[in-house]
Structure 1
Amino acid sequence: FLADALARGAAAALLPDDAFAALAALGRVVRDRSSARLVAVTGSTGKTSTKDILAALCRPHARTVAAEGGLNNEIGLPLTLTRIEPETEVVVAELGMRGLGQIAELSALARPQVGVITAVGPVHLELLGTVANVARAKAEVVDALPPGGTAVVPAGASELEPFLGREGVELVRFGEGGDVCLSLFEPPHLVADVAGTTVALEVPFTARHQARNTLAALAAYRALGLPLERAGEGAAGIRFSAWRGEELELAGGVLVINDAYNANPDSVRAALEHLRERAGGRRTVAVLGGMAELGVHSALHHREVARTLEADVLVTVGELARGYLDAPAAERHHAESAGEAASLLRELLRPGDVVLVKGSRAVALEGIPSALANVPA
């Protein structure tokens, strides 16, 4: 690393005893010197996409710095903070976690005025044990808000409610029955009711779960004091981070949806719903890797997803994913690796198929779409 840095023009190198502490200190210094308003986005699902949507909506109206990709931990957050310039007006940061106390630590570094919790669901159960503990961990971002801050939370998230007692913070709920709700979603048209104001956007996506993420982003956009009547100006600039629903058209009209960045029960259900809607009657192929970090109830969660899994062809990848094989798919196959799955798909795919690729990070399915690029018509 040092040799590469010097070759690219670095004049000197600092070698601290604790690189993590040094990086955090750099981020803290830059943040403390900035008057930018900061939004911290966390959640069991949708946090990176919500961050991407919010950043796009903000950019036409404020000098905006946003986390790149999924940089959301004790390394990623300081890297985001060090990109703040004197003229920066809005920072959209992402906070991830693997256990209790971690979001509190990251929030102390970020000092957000707005906290967004996109969802609470069964993730990291290997460490946290219960969804209630997941909610407790996510709510640490609310506890970190200053008086007058705004917490954006999902409507109807009963697990979260016991942890939302922070005084002096405005609570804004999004989703059905909330302060910010969806009035119309007929891609590219999205219309939302944002606390009584109608906001119309033309969005470059078709997935309904991204429409829900847009509601969270609009709630945060409003909390920043940006003009709701002009929110649509940034919608065309929405670009999602890699492997989060990106589409690849192959020979023969085969459409591949690459949603392989990560997977948990809620995100897999949402992706499968999008697969059905996107197919519009065409043959559907679900390529699913296992869902990691679900603890002792892992097999149960895989079976529960399988019960509602509707696909014409199911290809499971890796040992964990065998739990999906009870799904009522017309045709079922299993592969031990992503490479084996790609080889299998080359034989299975037909012209016009719509393919979903989804799995946890550990399964590394993201290379399957490019491996299929030579599928014959």
Structure 2
Amino acid sequence: MSSPLWTLEEIVAATGARVGGGFREATGASIDTRTLEPGDLYFAIKGDVHDGHDFVPAALKKGASGAVVSEEKAPAFQTDRLIVVPDVLEAMRRLGRAARRRTDARIVAITGSVGKTGTKEAMRLALSRLGATHASVASYNNHWGVPLTLSRMPRETEFGIFEIGMNHAYEILPLTAMVRPHVAVITTIEPVHMEFFPSLWGIADAKGEIFSGLEPGGTAVINRDSPYFERLKAHALASAAGRVISFGEHEAADIRAERILVKPDQSIVEARVFGQLVTYRIGTAGRHIALNSLSVLAAVHALGADLARVALSFPDLRPPVGRGERTMLSIGDGQALLIDESYNANPASMRAALANLGAVELGRQARRIAVLGDMKELGERGPSLHEELAEAVEANGIDLVFAAGPLMRSLVERLPKAKVALHADTSVELIDAVCAAIRPGDAVTVKGSLSMKMALVVKDLKERYGASPSAHALKG
């Protein structure tokens, strides 16, 4: 039987809390009563929209082992199982640091403008074949997501994987200091969050902060194909890193892709890992996914783990929700392929999604349909970066474009009129038109920034036409 995640004594030692009666050992940690499980320690975090203190009674009713509340709010509760602290978020940070101190796990931290979550999931899959692995849930990569993930890490963990994100400079510094990785990975640098940075050099510097938290002698893993490689390498060499490993298609990359074959439902990679030939199949399509798999090999190599066993895990890789999931829709007496890329978007991931749609094999008369929403946080370059997507639309043989949002008007105005099905202000306004347009044999990709709520289009398509997992193209 495994030990509890946290005992009362450990919580008090880490946070300095004062505790009421009735507390039970914690088997998990949560900040959301909707997903809270019995035995979870509930942190009443104050967010931008809701104050977690409003949900303390609900958390305790659902079986929380205890609720961490602030001194200021504690008098309002006439209940036991309270853990009272000056600041709830800081208490969670302290518990996270305590979790990091007590573990002997080998830790990997991942950042980058694009591909963080997909790479984290590939890393989770690979390392879980080698030992007990703990990783961030979904995209829990910010000022509360990282300490929450740390506080959830069991003491028996052998490998820990943490996604670390940012949209401003100096946000990664305190997070990587908590995680203290043995390996730190930067997937790529792209124009994401440009609203908050003067240039891509600034984004590179902000991502380079991840190396500051490396354990002495740790390994920095950097994309050799990036024009910012030398700048990121300088950040790594200024840290406690003992080694830099590069990956990509560049001839000087330590882990180099010699051949990438992207098929409709999978990718095949031939790579050289420090001269050793490794060939493997990935169970999802995408050139960007194949390239990011090289960073997984780099991290595993740095950890001294078995590369062959890791490569054998890749066929089981599936896209995270909203990041490439493929389903078949029943349309009349046939089927259409739906590719759900609705979770978020930036120029690089949008181009990758259009390339994946372009790779789908279609029968005669079938069409490639892109349902696209605005890409946010691009600053003054927003209109031009949307307009430039026209090249990717043309290059990948996209037949129809449905677009939502004011920034997408720049793309719509650049495209031939025959390719523009509809432009609307919101994703909701596209739903009926998209549903009416799809025919048997078509392939449809839905993508946009999270705030554009493109997932509503996906949801409606699935509800109207049913959905079953797809592992094949529309044409053999």
Q: TM-score, normalised by structure 1?
A: 0.95
1:319 maps to amino acid: P
Q: In the alignment, does 2:392 pair up with 1:303?
A: no
1:185 maps to amino acid: I
4+ residue segments displaced more than 6 Å: none
* Equivalence for 1:327: 415
2:127 maps to amino acid: C
Q: CA RMSD in A?
A: 1.8
* Equivalence for 1:277: 359
TM-superposed CA distance for 1:219, in Å, is 1.0
* Equivalence for 1:181: 256
2:309 maps to amino acid: R
Which residue among 108, 113, 117 is the counterpart of 1:44? 113
* Equivalence for 1:101: 170
* Equivalence for 2:149: 80
Which residue among 206, 227, 243 is the counterpart of 2:306? 227
* Equivalence for 1:260: 342
Q: In the alignment, does 2:98 pair up with 1:29?
A: yes
Unaligned runs of at least 5 residues, structure 2 = 1-54, 71-85, 467-476
TM-superposed CA distance for 1:188, in Å, is 5.1
Q: In the alignment, does 2:324 pair up with 1:245?
A: yes
2:255 maps to amino acid: V
Q: Aligned partners of 1:90 and 1:10: how far apart in 2?
A: 27
Which residue among 278, 283, 289 is the counterpart of 2:373? 289
Q: In the alignment, does 2:214 pair up with 1:145?
A: yes
Which residue among 166, 169, 186 is the counterpart of 2:242? 169
* C-alpha spacing 1:12/1:342, structure 2 compared with 1 (3 Å): same
Which residue among 341, 345, 349 is the counterpart of 2:438? 349
* 2:99/2:155 contact within 8 Å kept: no
* 1:139/1:160 contact within 8 Å kept: no
Q: Aligned partners of 1:209 and 1:15: how far apart in 2?
A: 43
* C-alpha spacing 1:280/1:116, structure 2 compared with 1 (3 Å): farther
TM-superposed CA distance for 1:244, in Å, is 0.4
Q: Aligned partners of 1:11 and 1:225: how far apart in 2?
A: 38
Q: Aligned partners of 1:328 and 1:49: how far apart in 2?
A: 33
SS of the residue corresponding to residue 87 of structure 1 reads: coil
TM-superposed CA distance for 1:328, in Å, is 4.0
* 1:60/1:233 contact within 8 Å kept: no
* 2:176/2:212 contact within 8 Å kept: no
TM-superposed CA distance for 1:91, in Å, is 0.5
TM-superposed CA distance for 1:233, in Å, is 3.3
* 1:59/1:234 contact within 8 Å kept: no
Q: TM-score, normalised by structure 2?
A: 0.76
Q: In the alignment, does 2:390 pair up with 1:315?
A: no
Of structures 1 and 2, the one scoring higher in RCO (CA 8 A, sep 6+) is: 1
1:182 maps to amino acid: A
Within a 5 Å distance, the mapping from 1:60-75 to structure 2 comes to 60-75=129-144
SS of the residue corresponding to residue 319 of structure 2 reads: coil
Out of 141-150 and 208-217, give the one that drifted further.
141-150
* 1:308/1:327 contact within 8 Å kept: no
TM-superposed CA distance for 1:280, in Å, is 4.5
The count of corresponding residues between Structure 1 and Structure 2 is 376
Q: CA offsets, 1:74-102, max 9 Å, x none?
A: 11111211222222111010000011111
Which residue among 57, 81, 87 is the counterpart of 1:3? 57
SS of the residue corresponding to residue 388 of structure 2 reads: helix
